[in-house]
Amino acid sequence: MKQTAVEWLVDQVQQKLYIRDNVIEQAKEMEKQQKDDFAIEFSEWCLNSLLNGEEPKAETMKELLEIFKNK
């Protein structure tokens, strides 16, 4: 399983590495990349659902997002 930015940062602390600015910046960059990856996956899922003729079972984007998260 892919490690989240928070899990990675906890590992760094537990290994008693000194937290320097570059370590914190790296964690922030990992978090940003994970958000980007999620947005891309969600967009692809929505597009594929529409292309396959599936009607959304949600009335709002929030509801659609919850369906995606629970798939």
Residue 66: how many other CB atoms lie within 10 Å: 12
CA atoms of 2 and 31, how far apart (whole Å): 12
pLDDT (tens, 9 = 90+) of the chain, 71 residues, equals 688 888 888 887 777 666 676 777 888 899 999 999 999 999 999 999 989 998 878 889 899 999 999 88
pTM (2 d.p.): 0.65
Delimit the domains of the chain by residue range. Answer: 5-69
What's the half-sphere exposure (Cβ side, CA atoms, 13 Å) at 32?
6
